[in-house]
Amino acid sequence: MTRRSAVTWRSPVVILRGRKVVPGTVAGPALVSHEAISGWGGIDPAKGLIIEPRHELFGQCFTGKILVFPGAKGSSGWSGFFQAARLMGTAPAGMIFTRVSTKAALGAVVTRVPAVTDLDADPCQVISTGDWVHIDADRGVVVVTPATVA
Amino acid sequence: MRLTDEEKRMLDGIEGPAVAAAMDLLVRYGEALDCEHLCDVRNVAGTMTQPSPVKARLVTEGGWDKAFAVINLDCDDDLEIPPMRVATCQLQHGFGADAAGDVPYPAQLIELQGDAEAFYGRHGVNILATCTPYQVGNIPVRGEHCAWMESSAVIYANSVLGARTNCEGTASTGAASLTGKVPCWGNHLDDHRYGTHLIDAGVRVDDFAEWGMLGYFAGGLAGEERPVITGDIGRPDLAELKHFGAAAATSGGVELYHIPGITPEAPTEAAAFGPAPVPAAVRYGADQRRTVYEDLNSQGTSTDVDFVLLGCPHASVDQIRQAARALDGRRLSPGTELWLMVPRALKVIADRSGCTEIIERAGGKVLADSCPAMSRVAPVGTRVFATDSAKQAHYLPAILGIEAWFGTLGECVDAAVTGRWSGHLRQHADLR
């Protein structure tokens, strides 16, 4: 399960394979959280910021980023807040997450950005903030180019 | 996804474009979950009337039909919204007209919400206006499939009532209300309802504050999975389980827990885990309890308390009575406000039973429909608040940028009367 596909010591580019959550392709810089994210009470959709004071990404902006996170926590307002971020123009460009839940799945659907899950390695460990990430959700493929190479 | 003939007809627009849009959202959502089929629901608890900047803009552009289409169905088309197909209620939202003057909530939002209530009421939505629909007449029976929002209500419905609902969102509940369908995934399935973690309480958990702390611990441990609680826990009442669940759904994403011998799907500890072996217990002892207490109280530095918030989730009749007893004959500090949040239906009972009068005579306010987190308002100038709710202590610093203290009802009322926080963790010896 934790196998990295198509990776050799010569290649700095990492390819992960999983399944589609929301179809589409997109590329952008990664914003990686190692903690679950709250939607309602955790993000400000007007500004595209993480606002939970004790969160590792407190104060960081997710707009236009590939948001990589282990799962969704907290209120059922999760999806509604990410939908509001889309309607206010502050949404992330794509989502990659580990634990499938109704909050994360519906949140990705109504954010209407390419999203994948069930990857063959832990994306929160393999991907670092600032890495360049390409998502081909229909094929379930994520290509990660580390920031030091990109 | 495999759809039934009935569901295909809905998707194809035979029942109108709004139902088709609802079914389209459910299919997209079901595929995102990798779910195979939908299940029938007859009980939806969602949110339509809560004012927001986006909603105000959509209503200006295209009325409430437009707002429902975009927000509750995730559809950009201009649709006429038909009556709700199945029983649907509105959860907590903003403040109503009777709170004007008592809370600094903008008049235009009260007006917007009033318009929304009229529109959705005509379309078959019951305006319960509480995060605790199970306190005011919407009590699903065991095994009933529901589509509920509000994490604290979802965990109560699943765990205490034995109903079956995932933690749905604004769009999925909107789609469910027009179709009577929701993805048959997660908590709807037998195999996903067994416990995953065993927590053994080695300290006595015997009041509202203690159950909140244990819930906060359980959520931190179990994350999105299903804790089973044993140990020195006595027999919790409605308010204690309401607080436990709200806290577990805040620190983690718990939607279902079991308490052997108390909650309906766990007659025994072994039954709580189904076919799986009972895992090794994780201890909740004096050290763990202190860590939770300090975590909840890590967002306060000043002991000058401007604001005391009680009733999250919305208070039970017993809690209203307890607050009235604690405030009877006392007077709030001139610089401190106290709000007790209640379901509107229970405010009627508080009024008739004399509780409201006692609380108001002390200078407190009994408020319905909303809370500071939903309405994003606190008394003007609030810098430091105190609460008996682990959930509000967790969220309000982020939402309103204020400091928080967490403690017992008695400590919160003392803070309201003196204007100072003097709470501390009650000494509680490890029993084993």
The CATH number assigned to the domain holding A66 equals 3.50.30.10
Q: Which residues of A touch B71 (CB under 8 A)?
A: 80, 83
CATH of the domain at B306: 3.30.499.10
Same-domain status, B269 and B170: no
**Residue B331 domain flag:** yes
Same-domain status, B175 and B282: no
**Residue A62 domain flag:** yes
Give the ipTM.
0.92
pLDDT of residue A40: 87
pLDDT of residue A73: 87
**Residue A1 domain flag:** no
The predicted model scores a pTM of 0.94
pLDDT of residue A11: 59
* Contact call for A102 and B249, based on CB within 8 A: no
Q: Is the dihedral of CA A109, A115, A120, A121 positive or negative?
A: negative
**Residue B428 domain flag:** no
Same-domain status, B182 and B36: yes
How many other CB atoms are found less than 10 A from the CB of residue B189? 12
Per residue in A100-112, pLDDT (tens digit) is: 999 999 999 999 9
Do the beta carbons of residue B382 and residue B402 sit within 8 Å? yes
Just list the catalytic residues of A. Answer: 75
Same-domain status, B159 and B274: no
pLDDT of residue B252: 87
Same-domain status, B138 and B202: no
Averaged pLDDT in 10-residue chunks for chain B of 432 residues: 97 98 98 98 98 95 98 97 98 97 96 98 98 97 97 98 98 98 98 98 96 97 96 96 96 95 98 97 97 95 97 98 98 97 98 98 98 95 97 92 96 98 82 48
**Residue B429 domain flag:** no
pLDDT of residue A2: 47
**Residue A68 domain flag:** yes
Same-domain status, B87 and B153: yes
pLDDT of residue A149: 59
Q: Which residues in B155-174 are b (16+ Cβ under 10 Å) and which e?
A: bbbbbbbbbbbbbbbbbbbb
Domain limits at B234?
Answer: 194-295
Amino acid at B317: V
**Residue B424 domain flag:** no
Do the beta carbons of residue B300 and residue B405 sit within 8 Å? yes
Same-domain status, B279 and B348: no
Q: Which of B295, B328, B344 is the last residue of a domain?
A: B295
**Residue A76 domain flag:** yes
Q: Is the dihedral of CA B163, B169, B172, B176 positive or negative?
A: positive
- How many folded domains does chain B comprise? 3
Domain limits at A84?
Answer: 14-145
**Residue A4 domain flag:** no
Q: Which of B190, B223, B241 is the last residue of a domain?
A: B190
Do the beta carbons of residue B49 and residue B117 sit within 8 Å? yes
Distance from CA of B329 to the nearest CA of A (A): 36
Beta strands B181-183 and B38-40, pairing class: antiparallel
Same-domain status, B395 and B310: yes
> Is residue A8 predicted with pLDDT exceeding 50?
no
Out of A22, A46, A76, name the one closest to residue B169 (CB).
Answer: A76
* Contact call for A101 and B224, based on CB within 8 A: yes
Q: Which of B170, B190, B210 is the last residue of a domain?
A: B190
- How many folded domains does chain A comprise? 1
pLDDT of residue A10: 45
Contacts of B348 (CB under 8 A, 6+ apart): none
